[in-house]
């Protein structure tokens, strides 16, 4: 008697294809969600960098670091994608000179931001010594108190505003 036992272990081709299709679909959904989360994280990091530099400039002005006559300021250099924390040397109405910022002996703190982030509104603010109030100079007649700058990245927006007392607020 010739008895063959049929061993039916394993998966059929259709089962494997259905499983692969479901895994591919789930990976596509997770990948899409992960990219939007990454862009949102990247944007929040950029906004937090701008806010922290503004807060640092105000704190240095209140503490009167280096006994600065004009306070401390932040310049948003959109041409070179950088924030410049600086101490005005003579005329606080004038943003820092690009040549001096890039020189070796400058004492400016420079932080670069992503070229994907766009800035509109205020690009130059100085906080006065001791009281830390935001000082408005007629650099741009459209810039008035409260000072406002808007950051945008891939449809995500955040507004950073500074009131006359120097308080810094931002939206998520």
Domain encompassing residue 70: 14-170
Q: For residue 26, give the CATH number of its domain.
A: 3.55.40.10
What pLDDT does 4 receive?
A: 61
On whether residue 9 sits in a domain, the answer given is no
What pLDDT does 98 receive?
A: 62
On whether residue 2 sits in a domain, the answer given is no
- Upper half-sphere CA count for residue 13 (Cβ side, 13 Å): 0
On whether residue 94 sits in a domain, the answer given is yes
Which residues face 151 on adjacent strands?
119, 158
Rg of the chain's alpha carbons, rounded to an integer? 27
What pLDDT does 146 receive?
A: 63
Tally of structural domains, the chain: 1
On whether residue 46 sits in a domain, the answer given is yes
Residues of the chain with pLDDT under 50: 104, 138-141
Would the pTM of this model clear 0.95, i.e. be above it?
Answer: no
Which residues face 160 on adjacent strands?
149, 170
On whether residue 7 sits in a domain, the answer given is no
On whether residue 8 sits in a domain, the answer given is no
**What's the angle, vertex CA 125, arms to CA 122 and CA 131, rounded to 5?**
140
Residues belonging to the chain: 172
Long-range contacts of 38-42 (CB under 8 A, 24+ apart): 39/153, 39/154, 39/156, 40/156, 42/114, 42/116, 42/153
On whether residue 5 sits in a domain, the answer given is no
């Amino acid at each position: 008697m010739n008895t063959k036992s049929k061993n039916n272990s394993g998966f059929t081709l259709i089962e494997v294809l259905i499983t692969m299709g479901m895994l591919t679909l789930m990976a596509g959904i997770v990948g899409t969600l992960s990219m939007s989360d990454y862009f949102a994280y990247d944007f929040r990091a950029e906004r937090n960098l701008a806010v922290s530099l503004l807060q640092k400039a105000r704190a240095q002005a209140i503490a009167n670091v280096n006994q600065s006559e004009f306070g401390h300021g932040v310049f948003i250099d959109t041409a070179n994608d950088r924030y410049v924390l600086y101490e005005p040397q003579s005329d606080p109405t004038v943003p820092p000179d690009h040549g001096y910022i890039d020189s070796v002996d400058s004492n400016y703190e420079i932080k670069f931001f992503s070229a994907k982030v766009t800035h509109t509104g205020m690009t130059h603010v100085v906080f006065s010594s001791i009281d830390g109030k935001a000082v408005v100079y007629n650099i741009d007649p459209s810039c008035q108190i409260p000072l406002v700058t808007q950051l945008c990245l891939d449809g995500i927006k955040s507004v950073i505003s500074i009131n006359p007392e120097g308080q810094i607020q931002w939206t998520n």
